[in-house]
Amino acid sequence: MEIQPISGAIGAEITGVDLAALEVDEFAALHKALLDYGVISIHGQALTADQQIAFARRWGDIHAHPYLSGLDGNPEIIEIVKEAGEPNRFGAHWHTDQVFTPAPAMATMLLAREVPPVGGDTLFTDLYAAYDALSDGMKRMACRLRTVNTYDKGTTRSKRMGAKVLEPEKEAVPAVHPLVRVHPETGKRALYINDTRIMRRFEDMTEAESKPLLDFFLTHETRPEFTCRVRWQVGTLGLWDNRRLMHLALDDYQGHRRVMHRITIKGTPTIGVDPSEFPT
Ligand SMILES: O=C(O)CCC(=O)C(=O)O
Ligand SMILES: [Fe+2]
């Protein structure tokens, strides 16, 4: 197995591995690569749905999406489709997955089934680097803030993806998380933020009060030097650590279709930093 970093910040491409016949030591190496690089991609993995589900289960239990339905016959897999004639609205803004649930997904896996001739890459940014680059004063404040996150059932969806939304008329229930999240496996701190479609405000503050600060954090943590870009071929399997990264699906392939098979792995409730570490 070979691991080739794809940027100075995060991301690695892995070669020399067959995910349908993975040895225990190879899985351990992939796990380490996920923790080290945040996002890994492996080309040439023409897995069946059952093989994709079996690979996903090696990472943990599968997280059933509370608001989207899966494939008939394989409900663990959500098919993300952008038709040639429509814009891509699924994930086309900076976010981490399922931050609107109390225990957001640990990881998300996409298996590319159909890709445009060019474009349709996914961008990632490193929330550890974003936290580390804050001043001590801002870290002190950030460690005391909690965010209120609500799923957007409407405005970010195409017609086709909108049809998968469960109980569209029912208001989504918000989830509250620490702004500075301690990674449960590495102990590192991540500036755990989404754009304001999901992360609407800080706890005990109004949306108007929260917005300037949320805008600052979002601009700060999408600095180009914190990012990488994953390119897809048919059969590329990409896997990212939602506890550490945000991502954005680029909408730059008008006139072409793109189909991804997506599985999310269950996560754990978020943990914040003890504020007494930063006396006021
Ligand atoms: O389609 C993509 O590249 C990513 C979409 C997304 O945000 C997701 O699958 O969580
Ligand atoms: Fe996403």
In this predicted model, what pLDDT tens digit does every residue of 246-257 receive, in sequence order?
999 999 999 999
Backbone angles phi, psi at 126, to 5 degrees: -95, 110
Contact 261, 69 (CB under 8 A): no
Contact 153, 168 (CB under 8 A): yes
**Burial classification of residue 249, based on how many CB atoms lie within 10 Å of its CB (0-12 exposed, 13-18 middle, 19 or more buried):** buried
In this predicted model, what pLDDT tens digit does every residue of 107-155 receive, in sequence order?
999 999 999 999 999 999 999 999 999 999 999 999 999 999 988 766 5
Which atom in ligand 1 lies closest to the alpha carbon of residue 122?
Answer: 3
Query: In testing the pocket of ligand 1, which one of 39, 79, 110, 158 has its CB within 8 Å of the most ligand atoms?
Result: 110
Spatial strand order of the sheet with 12-15 comes to 2-5, 12-15, 39-42, 237-241, 107-114, 258-265, 78-82
The class level of CATH for 2-266 reads alpha beta
Protein residues whose CB sits closer than 6 Å to any atom of ligand 1:
80, 90-91, 97, 108, 110, 122, 247, 249, 260, 262
- Catalytic site positions: 95, 97, 247, 262
Closest listed residue to residue 174, CA positions, set 101, 106, 91, 103? 101
pTM for this structure?
Answer: 0.92
In this predicted model, what pLDDT tens digit does every residue of 269-279 receive, in sequence order?
999 998 888 76
pLDDT of res. 90: 85
Spacing, Cα 90 to ligand 2 middle (Å): 7
Torsion of CA 9, 59, 249, 94, to 10 degrees: -70
Which atom in ligand 1 lies closest to the alpha carbon of residue 248?
Answer: 7
